[in-house]
Amino acid sequence: MQRLNHKKIIKIRSFLLLIIIGFIQSSFAQQNSPEGGTLNGKIICIDPGHGGSAATDSYRQGPTGEREEWIDLRVGLLLKEILEQKGAKVLMTRSSDVPFPLAERSKMAVENKADFFISIHHNATADPSVNFPIIYYHGLASENQAGVTFGKLLAKNLKKYMYKTKTPYSVVSDFTIFSGAGSSVLRGTYGIPGVLAEASLFTNPEEEARLKTREHNYKEAHAIAKAIEKFFKKDNLTISPKTPSKFPPQFATLQEADRMSAVAKRWHQDYLDGKKLMKKKDAESQQKAYDLFTQSARSFPDSYVAAKCHKYRAEILRKQGKTEEALKEEIRVKEFYPN
Are 192 and 114 spatial neighbours (Cβ–Cβ below 8 Å)? Answer: yes
CA distance 220 to 158: 6
Q: Which amino acid is at 163?
A: Y
Please name the residues in contact with 28: beta carbons below 8 A apart, sequence gap of 6 or more.
none
List, for residues 33-80, the tens digit of each pLDDT value: 444 589 999 999 999 999 988 877 777 889 999 999 999 999 999 999
Contact 221, 78 (CB under 8 A): yes
* C-alpha span between 322 and 318 (Å, rounded): 5
Farthest CA pair distance, the chain? 103
For residue 186, give the nearest of 83, 102, 80 by alpha carbon. Answer: 102
For the domain spanning 37-231, the CATH number is: 3.40.630.40
pLDDT of 8 reads 54
CB 38 within 8 A of CB 86: yes
Across the chain, mean pLDDT equals: 90
Tens-digit pLDDT profile for the chain (339 aa)? 444 455 555 455 554 544 443 443 344 344 444 445 899 999 999 999 999 888 777 778 899 999 999 999 999 999 999 999 999 999 999 999 999 999 999 999 999 999 999 999 999 999 999 999 999 999 999 999 999 999 999 999 999 999 977 899 999 999 999 999 999 999 999 999 999 999 999 999 999 999 999 999 999 999 999 999 999 999 878 999 999 999 999 999 998 778 889 999 999 999 999 999 999 999 999 999 999 999 999 999 999 999 999 999 999 999 999 999 999 999 999 999 998
Residue pair 135/99 in contact (Cβ under 8 Å)? The answer is no
For the chain, the domains span 37-231, 248-336
**Nearest-angstrom CA–CA distance, 211 and 122:** 10
Give the predicted TM-score (pTM) of the model: 0.88
CA distances to 93, 123, 232, 242, 301 from 53, in Å:
15, 15, 34, 32, 24
Tell me the three state secondary structure of residue 143: coil
What pLDDT is recorded for position 24? Answer: 36
CA dihedral sign, ordered 227, 232, 234, 238: positive
pLDDT at 315: 97
What are the helix (H) ranges across the chain? Answer: 2-32, 68-85, 102-111, 145-162, 184-188, 205-211, 214-231, 262-265, 267-278, 283-299, 306-319, 323-336
d(CA 135, CA 303): 10
Question: What pLDDT score was predicted for residue 1?
Answer: 42
Instruction: Give the C-alpha distances (Å, rounded to integers) separating 126 from 55, 62, 141, 242, 330.
Output: 21, 11, 28, 33, 28
